[in-house]
Chain A
Amino acid sequence: DAGVIQSPRHEVTEMGQEVTLRCKPISGHNSLFWYRQTMMRGLELLIYFNNNVPIDDSGMPEDRFSAKMPNASFSTLKIQPSEPRDSAVYFCASSYRTGEKLFFGSGTQLSVL
């Protein structure tokens, strides 16, 4: 298996622009997670899905952030409009079932200028 695939690896954009991050989980995994990592806040869970349904989005910082999972093999995290404070590494992770280990993608390094 190719693992969790995220794109793009790096994204540089200007403040106010829309940013879309993409994730393909491991085939057969039922749960998908979006994390954000910064030096100041460490690793934060933004939102997670079970069977394509959002379960907990309490970590989404504000309405500028939205996430979708239209099918079992694809998810997006969108920021509109983006701000410099959104600069971070965004990780997608998936797991097979409750209590099982998370498999992380390589992350998207986002820089908002």
Chain B
Amino acid sequence: AQSVTQLGSHVSVSEGALVLLRCNYSSSVPPYLFWYVQYPNQGLQLLLKYTSAATLVKGINGFEAEFKKSETSFHLTKPSAHMSDAAEYFCAVGGGGGNKLTFGTGTQLKVEL
């Protein structure tokens, strides 16, 4: 069985500040981990994915995430928030030989001036 927990359904940061969105996972097999972003009235888009090649994964739009097995975490960060980063972010876990991803409940990121 696999699951993800996203801590904080809403996160608010100032423009230019660090973005940190938290994700913890549970998996009985080596996980594939993903971060997706959803802008209003759109489908989800992949930001980045971890598939065991490197623990620090760089994605699009300046985002990155670090896989920490000891902490079962895959937190998403961006050094400097931009207004265009305001969206909902989903963490997801997959693996075990199947395509089925399990998504977290999402974190709404608000960026303020």
Contacts and interface: CB of A to CB of B under 8 A. Distances in A.
Interface residues of B, number: 24
Interface of A: 4, 31, 33, 42-43, 45, 48, 50, 55-56, 91, 93, 95, 97-107
Contact of A50 (B41, B42, B99, B106): B99
| Overall SS of chain A's interface | strand
Nearest to B51: A99
Interface of B: 32, 34, 36, 41-46, 49, 51, 90, 94-95, 97-106
Contacts of A98: 97-99
A10 to B, nearest CB: 10
B34 A43 contact: no
Contact of B100 (A42, A43, A45, A100): A45
A31 B99 contact: yes
Nearest to B95: A99
A104 B43 contact: yes
Contacts of A42: 103-106
Among A33, A45, A48, A98, chain B packs the most CB atoms within 10 A around the CB of A98
A91 B32 contact: no
Contact of A91 (B41, B44, B46): B44
B54 to A, nearest CB: 16
| 5 A-B pairs closest in CB distance | A104-B43, A104-B44, A42-B105, A101-B46, A31-B99
B73 to A, nearest CB: 20
B46 A102 contact: yes
